[in-house]
Amino acid sequence: MIAATELRLVLVTPETTLLDERVRSMRFPMYDGQIGVLPGRAPLVGRLGIGELKLESSAGGSVRYFIDGGFVQIKGSVVTLLTDRAIPADEIDVNQAKSDLAVALAEVPTSEESLAAKERAVERARRMSSLG
C-alpha cells in the first residue's frame, strides 16, 4: 500500500511501460496548460500536451522527461500517463531538436492538416530543445 505522502506514477508508451514507481510529486503539460500533482489530488482524466514531465522521486532527487501528447488518468494515488513518446531529458540531442525546429519553420503548409502538422512539429521541437 502506498503511503498518503506518495503517488504511484505509471508512464506508458505504445512500446513499453517506462516507469512504474513511487514519487512525491510531479508536474506535466496538459493540452491547455501545466498541472502539478500532489498526493490527495482529486480524480482526473485529461489530454496531455507536449513538454516536460518533472517528478520528485520518493528516493530523493528529480527526474525529467520530454513527453509528446497523450492522456492522463488520476485515480486515487495512481497517476497513469499514456503518451506517444517519452524521452529522458538527459538523452535529448539539443542540436537535433534545433535542426528539427528549422525544418519545421521552413515548411510551407498547403492545407489545414499540413498547417496543424507544422504547428505541432514547431511546438515539439521548441519544447524539446528547451529541455536539453
The 10 Å Cβ neighbour count of residue 96 is 13
Interval 79-116: pLDDT, tens: 999 999 999 999 988 888 889 889 888 989 899 999 99
Q: Residue 86: its pLDDT value, please?
A: 95
For the chain, give every domain's residue range: 7-89, 93-131
Q: Which pLDDT score, from 0 to 100, does residue 128 have?
A: 87
Residues of the chain scoring pLDDT < 70: 1-4, 132
pLDDT of amino acid 58:
80
| CA atoms of 93 and 10, how far apart (whole Å) | 25
List, in sequence order, the alpha helices (H) in 4-93: none
Residue 58 corresponds to which cell in the numbers above?
A: 520518493
Instruction: Provide the strand spans (E) within 2-129.
Output: 7-12, 17-30, 33-37, 44-57, 62-75, 78-82, 86-88
Which residues face 30 on adjacent strands?
A: 33, 48
pLDDT at 10: 97
| pTM metric for this prediction | 0.84
Angle subtended at Cα 94 by Cα 59 and Cα 55, rounded to the nearest 5 degrees: 20
Q: For the domain with range 7-89, which CATH number is right: 2.60.15.10, 3.30.2130.10, 1.20.1250.20, 1.10.150.570? A: 2.60.15.10
Q: What pLDDT is stored for residue 131 in this prediction?
A: 77
For residue 40, give every residue at least 6 positions away whose Cβ sits within 8 Å of its Cβ, in sequence order, or none: 4
pLDDT at 11 (0 to 100): 97
